[in-house]
Amino acid sequence: MRLISSWLTAVFMIYLFAQQNIMTKEFPLSVNIGYAMLSFVCAFIVISAAATLLRNVCKIDSGWLLFISAALIVMLSCGKLDMFGCIAVMPLILAAVFFTLFKDKLRLPKWSKKLWPAVIISGAAIMFFFAGVLIALRYYNMYAPTYDFGIFSQMFENMKNGFLPYTTVERGYELSHFAVHFSPAYYLMLPFYMIYPHPVTLELLQGAIVVSGVIPVYLIARKYELSKPTCALIGLIYCFYPALTGGCRYDLHENCMLAPLLLWLFWAIERERFIPIAVFSLLTLAVKEDAAIYICTVALYLIFCDRGKKMKITGGIMMVCGIAYFIAVCAFLDSQGLGIMSWRYDNYIYDPNGGLFNVIVSVIVNPGYVISNLLDESKLIFVLQMLLPLGFIPLFCKKFSRVILFIPFVLINLMPNYYYQHDINFQYVFGTAAIFIWLFIQNCADMKYHSRRMAVAFCLAASVAVFGCCHWKLTNNLSIDPDRQAVVSYLEQLDTDLGSVTADTFFVPALYKQKELYSITTTEVPNEQSAPFADVVLLDKRFDAYQTEKEYYLSHGMTETPVEGAAGNIICRLDKAR
């Protein structure tokens, strides 16, 4: 074990001071063999001395093997390994955890128990940095497009001024966003936006909302009488669970509220507190029309699980309310809005007028076809990204009733061929992630003590590895181009009395104060629908279609107005002829 630890330490030092890309076959040519041998010998001597001096205090060999394995995996996962590379290092993680925690029975010193609150807070801070701060910097880097952050930036500004969720960006005319998605839960975010009304507030708020889910996760784990260190580690697993940060990567969406609200609902169920169950069920339903799927799934679970008669009755009430709410909202969207987005299930709709009813019939009478559509290459990678960080433990349910909780994963993420619903970097994963964390806690509680220690430690290391693999590149957002900063500043300060404004997609979020705002959709030949006319048109000089769009607007009588300073390197402003 000491030889392996010394070798891993030497490899870590080589990688740490490497001047070339380590992921190439030529890398060994740049390694100083003498330095590598010296690193190995020094590591062996230091570990041996520490093991001798501290033999009555702690197990140095086991502890160092676990530490250096984790450090090496974190280094490799941070921008150096892809998803399949992460899978390849999982046996190393498993071997390190097995030999140190299971076979050698490594234990932490008693004084470390006082550090667990700080450990959770540190994990939450790291999660907020990635899910909040780095995502907010997308705005200043002009990575956030019209769809969907431009919509919500204008919508919240209108909610601040008139309390109604109107936007002209979403469909090219003034429209309530609730005609597209019924999401009254957005009003829970409005008070925070009004404190500092700016698009960045929305990004930071989303990160804070998702991070807050660590509180019910810890409380649920404590309800199962798991030790405080185990509960703290499960809290860290939540913080580094890749899907939760990934769901924030495409800017603000109401779905972010699903994670903490569902986890608080699960906590209320575990505690059998019926008023909180009702409150969090209603708040979850208010997130979006399809949130009823989560409530009905949890209700079905309560009906069939062995939690007593009161919980079965509660499940029945939740089921009736969830179905009634879903029917009412669908009727509202069909009559007052643009209808529900059943087109995402077009691969199951055999009758053009059948809608979601066709999906239900397909599941019942043609399950073979449904199963054949559940997995392809992209969906398989998605399944690995969702379950590998949790060691696939949510699958190992001792009680059949828990299998019911996989319904949203199948129905929302795997069944549709709409790519974004099975990609962890979009907002459709929050509800499933919350359910998987709950299943993870329940199934861990069923394990024996030593197996649980090993499982939790492995899952923490696996979560960190996959997290780094998936999200380390977000740190590139820390570098902001001065020209882009100048553009954002120019757009934010643009006079709101100009009349209507049409802009290219990455300009739209910063124009959130404009009352009549439209977005350009790049097409081969611009037309009035893809490139709406307005009093002011702002074109992005970086786009391939820039010259075509400029000539289109100039041919319709618009005139170019010079944009001074660095912003002029990117913005072309055209004004309507007076």
Residues 195 and 331 in one domain: yes
- Per the rule left: phi > 0, alpha: psi between -120 and 50, beta: everything else, 68 is alpha
Residue pointed to by tokens 């507190």: 273
79 and 165 fall within a common domain: no
Compute φ and ψ for 540, nearest 5 degrees: -95, 115
Does residue 356 lie within any of the structural domains?
Answer: no
Report the percentage of the chain scoring pLDDT > 70. Answer: 96
User: Tokens representing 299?
Assistant: 């209700």
Q: Is residue 393 part of a domain?
A: yes
120/216 Cα distance (integer angstroms): 13
> What does the pLDDT read at residue 141?
96
Q: Tens digits of per-residue pLDDT, 496-526?
A: 998 999 999 999 999 999 999 999 998 889 9
Same domain? For 93 and 132 the reply is: no
Query: Is residue 64 included in any domain, yes or no?
Result: yes
Q: Within a domain: residue 399?
A: yes
pLDDT, tens digit, for every residue of 327-352? Answer: 999 999 999 999 888 888 888 988 87
204 pLDDT band, cuts 50/70/90, is: very high
| pLDDT, tens only, 301-315 | 999 999 999 999 999
Distance of CA 386 to the CA centre of its chain: 11
- The Cα 182–Cα 447 span in angstroms is 41
* Among 399, 425, 446, residue at a domain's last position: 446
Q: Do residues 65 and 188 share a domain?
A: no
Is 268 found in the same domain as 332? yes
- Which residues have CB under 8 Å from 210's CB, separation 6+? 127, 131, 244, 245, 247, 248, 256, 259, 260, 430
Q: What is the Cα–Cα distance from 293 to 405, expressed in whole angstroms?
A: 11
225 and 249 fall within a common domain: yes
pLDDT of residue 55 exceeding 70, the answer is no
CA–CA distance, 85 with 70 (Å, rounded to integer): 15
Q: Identify whether residues 397 and 488 lie together within a single domain.
A: no
In a domain, 268, yes or no: yes
Task: Tell me the mean pLDDT in the region 414-423.
Answer: 93
φ, ψ (nearest 5 deg) of residue 355: 65, -150
Which candidate, 78, 88, 87, places its Cα nearest to that of 22?
78
Show the tokens assigned to 181.
């998605």
Query: Cα 251 from chain centroid?
Result: 10
If one counts the domains in the chain, the total is 3
Whether residues 73 and 99 share a domain: the answer is: yes
pLDDT at residue 80 above 80?
Answer: no
Question: Is residue 179 within 8 Å of 336, Cβ to Cβ?
Answer: yes
Tell me, what's the pLDDT at 376? 87
Cα separation, 211 vs 241, whole angstroms: 11
Secondary structure (DSSP) of 230-297: HHHHHHHHHHT-HHHHHTTTT---GGGGHHHHHHHHHHHHHHT-HHHHHHHHHHHHTT-GGGHHHHHH
Cis peptide before 290 (omega within 30 of 0): no
pLDDT tens-place string over residues 7-34: 888 888 888 777 777 777 888 878 888 8
188: DSSP letter: G
Q: What's the pLDDT tens digit per position in 243-266?
A: 999 999 999 999 999 999 999 999
Domain boundary residue, one of 107, 139, 164: 107
pLDDT given for residue 54 in this prediction: 66
Domain finish residue from 107, 131, 166: 107
- Same domain flag for 96 and 13: yes
More confident residue, 363 or 313: 313
Type of residue found at 236:
L
Cα 498 from Cα 514, distance rounded (Å): 9
What is the reported pTM? 0.92
Asked, for residue 364, whether it belongs to a domain, the answer is no
More confident: 100 or 358? 358
pLDDT score of 505: 96
Residue 31: give the domain boundaries: 2-107
Q: Do both 102 and 124 map to the same domain?
A: no
What pLDDT, in 10s, does the model give residues 36-51? 888 888 888 888 887 7
Is 167 part of a structural domain of the chain?
yes
246 with 101, same domain: the answer is: no
Total count of residues recorded for the chain: 578
Segment 388-414 shows an average pLDDT of 95
> For 19, phi and psi rounded to 5 degrees?
-95, -15
Residue 36 lies in a domain: yes
pLDDT at residue 353, as a whole number? 76
Locate 66 and state its tokens: 């676990």
d(CA 536, CA 326): 42
pLDDT in tens, 462-474: 999 899 989 999 9
H-helix or E-strand spanning residue 433: helix 430-445
Q: Are residues 385 and 433 in the same domain?
A: yes
Query: Which position has the higher pLDDT, 87 or 526?
Result: 526
